[in-house]
Structure 1
Amino acid sequence: MIRWRKGEVVAVRREWPGAVELDVTLAEGNCRALAYPPLVGRPEPGDTVLLNTTALAMGLGTGGYAMVVALPDRLPEDPQGPGHLVKARYTPLQATVLGADEQDSPHHEILREADSLDGMPVVVADLHSALPAVLCGLYGAHGPQGGTKGPEGVPERLRVAYVMLDGGALPGWFSMSAARLRELGWLCGVVTTGQSFGGDVEAVTVHTGLLAARHVLGADVAVVAQGPGNLGTGTRWGFSGVSAGEAVNAAAVLGGRPVAALRVSEGDLRERHVGVSHHSLTAYGRVALARAQVVVPDLPGAFGEKVREQAAVLAERHELVRVPVEGLRDALATSPVRLSTMGRGLDEDLAGFVASAAAGRHVASLLA
């Protein structure tokens, strides 16, 4: 189940908060590897590293790294401080973190009786790649701070939190996009929930993750999506994005305003994802029992009509909100991080990114 290799670090390629990308020499050649210093320590050129090369051998697009499991000759120091919330539980790399909701947390008293999001809009999306697109639609073409009133009439210094589900990558550190968006102030923080970890705030469930976004980070808006690297099997129910429907339920039961972003594609070669993906139709049409506002982008032409027809099946359970898309291409072009979904960039699957941006634009109208 695991392909094990031992190698030597040749060079550090690049790094971002929580992660270091490396060149490593193996007996069979060189490879690209990824290490999480908070877990294994910081590798340096010349270090021996123990690697899990399974994803590399499988040719996974998002997770196609050899993963550093340990620096056997230079182990990191034991962690210090409180925290008894164990994530990646009962795996060889289980890690103890301080959960915002646990008793030793300075936020425990805030969250102990917290039971409401106070009407906070919660954008729910299937794919991690929707995150920057939602923000582009929310902020418009000027970024998160555009004067006394931001773009689309959004108040200045809007605080947006990313609540990360555990259906994709478990370490929040894997996301270069989230790290960069956090650095630039497009996000006020990352909350990792369930078995995911490495966010600014750790939470046990998506429910406490949403409450932490609101009451610990002071968010005005939350965007909920899985981490990079979703899983799908081509079956009706066998995909990690089912959790999008569960997130709608969580947002609603806590008194939030769930806004569902449709997964749309005009560039996917798989018929089940062309137009409105079957992931969205199942997650919102079958799993989400609570009512949400489902944003239907008002795309032009025959493709736009197809999207509207497909989304219409959700009208029995949800409120469908048609959102104009004029100007969203320009807003998306200002994204400070690379826009990519399943290997396709902005111009290769414009409709997909516009659909996510339309959800952000709708939330902007709710806040104006």
Structure 2
Amino acid sequence: MMQWREGVVVREVSAWPGAVEYAVRLGSETDPGEEVRALAYTAMVGRPEPGDRVVLNASALLKGLGTGGLAFIVAMPDRLPVDAPESDGHIVKARYTPQQQMFLAVDEQDSPHHHVLRDAESIDGMPVVVADLHSALPAIITGVRIVRPDARIAYVMTDGGALPLAFSRAVAGLKEAGWVTETITVGQAFGGDHEAVSLHSGLLAARHVVGADVTVVVQGPGNVGTGTPWGYSGVAVADALHAADVLGGTCIAALRVSGADPRPRHRGISHHSTTAYGKALLSPAIVPVPAGGGELAALVRTQAAKLAERSRADLDIVEIGTEGVLEALRQSPVKLSTMGRGLEEDLAAFVVSAIAGVCAAQRISER
């Protein structure tokens, strides 16, 4: 269900590559209503200016959702954006929707990289870290940089959450800081430095086109959950590990952990990780856990050991030291936040994600 509204742009609030947030007054100039937040993807609708009349998709705003709980500008009915430059690409994403996009995919026949991906069969042991929440991405990358600040890091965004990569301010900030080398959007996700039809092609492109030392695979912002064991988008981490394993990668499963979530099923290792890695996963993976003292670290190690015993996959539980991790996380170029909690409010969530990055960096092979 879509709920439509019209409004008038009042002012620009903030901007980052590919997206602009506006204050928009609902209603018309003659019958104004309340002021709301609205986001425009510039590649899709152009760049509105104050005074422009806009048509909004207000469904998420009216529902009061968290991530994505704002209006989206669908069109400026009084003027059209300038056409994008011509491209040889013919791969359509957000397919068969009114705002479908056409791209030159890295793996299609007209791509200059087609011949490379046509013949590529392996990612040559490249470490691939997967996580189920987009908020884990900056922490994982921080962990990689603790060990290998020179590492080339690719981010592969899957389509379990936001489809436009431009929705993520974290990715924009990580790119600006030089912490992410290049981005690849796969499946129905779009807007990366490279587009790929499948996750497998995206991983191959990360290795052979980007030249990545480490690749991080995480869905876009906006994890979907239903309170049921299998009804959440993060279960796709198992599929990501399967793809990395098939392609000869070093598979690293980042745990979703919390020391502050009020829901018992998310304390220590989240039930989402135990479902994905304990029931859905069929291929081998390394599972980093924090070494050292502390009640929560001990709980996570105990839970991980039980997870490995029950899992259908061969899970290698590896203890990783946390020395220097918190200090490094505090130097992140982007805000750290997960489920509305910042770094100091839920240290464990970010530290355990970061040690997955440390683990990956320790397994980079020199080429």
TM over 0.5: yes
Matching residue of 2:291: 298
Report the residue type matching 1:88 in the other structure. Answer: A
Q: RMSD over aligned Cα, in angstroms? A: 1.2
Matching residue of 1:327: 324
Residues 1:112 and 2:112 aligned together:
no
Q: What fraction of aligned residue pairs are identical, expressed as a percent? A: 59
Question: Structure 1, residues 133-165: CA drift from partner, whole Å, max 9, x if none?
Answer: 01111112xxxxxxxxxxx3x3x6310000001
Secondary structure of 2:6's match?
strand
How far, CA to CA, are the matches of 1:314 and 1:294 in structure 2? 10
TM-score of the two chains, using structure 1 as the length reference: 0.94
Structure 1 unaligned runs (5+)?
A: 141-151
Matching residue of 1:92: 98
Residues 1:65 and 2:70 aligned together:
yes
Question: Structure 1, residues 11-62: CA drift from partner, whole Å, max 9, x if none?
Answer: 1111110000101000331001000010111111111111001111111221
Residues 1:338 and 2:320 aligned together:
no
Offset, 1:284: 1.2
Offset, 1:285: 1.4
The residue correspondences of 1:186-197 to structure 2 (distance < 5 A) are 186-197=179-190
Matching residue of 1:83: 89
How far, CA to CA, are the matches of 1:314 and 1:89 in structure 2? 38
Secondary structure of 1:295's match?
strand
Report the residue type matching 2:17 in the other structure. Answer: P
**Number of residue equivalences:** 355
Moved over 3 A (4+): none
Offset, 1:4: 0.3
How far, CA to CA, are the matches of 1:266 and 1:241 in structure 2? 20
Structure 2 unaligned runs (5+)?
A: 28-32
Is this contact kept in 1: 2:214–2:364, CA < 8 A?
Answer: no
Is this contact kept in 2: 1:314–1:320, CA < 8 A?
Answer: no
Secondary structure of 2:215's match?
strand
Matching residue of 1:7: 7
Offset, 1:215: 1.0
Offset, 1:169: 0.4
TM-score of the two chains, using structure 2 as the length reference: 0.94
Is this contact kept in 1: 2:126–2:249, CA < 8 A?
Answer: yes
Is this contact kept in 2: 1:285–1:314, CA < 8 A?
Answer: yes
Secondary structure of 2:276's match?
helix
How far, CA to CA, are the matches of 2:288 and 2:182 in structure 1? 25
Report the residue type matching 1:26 in the other structure. Answer: L
Report the residue type matching 1:43 in the other structure. Answer: P
The residue correspondences of 1:1-368 to structure 2 (distance < 5 A) are 1-27=1-27, 28-79=33-84, 80-140=86-146, 152=147, 154=148, 157-298=150-291, 300-316=293-309, 317-367=314-364
Offset, 1:98: 1.1
Report the residue type matching 1:289 in the other structure. Answer: L
Secondary structure of 2:337's match?
coil
Report the residue type matching 1:39 in the other structure. Answer: M
Offset, 1:302: 2.4
How far, CA to CA, are the matches of 2:104 and 2:37 in structure 1? 31
Offset, 1:88: 0.8
How far, CA to CA, are the matches of 1:195 and 1:273 in structure 2? 29
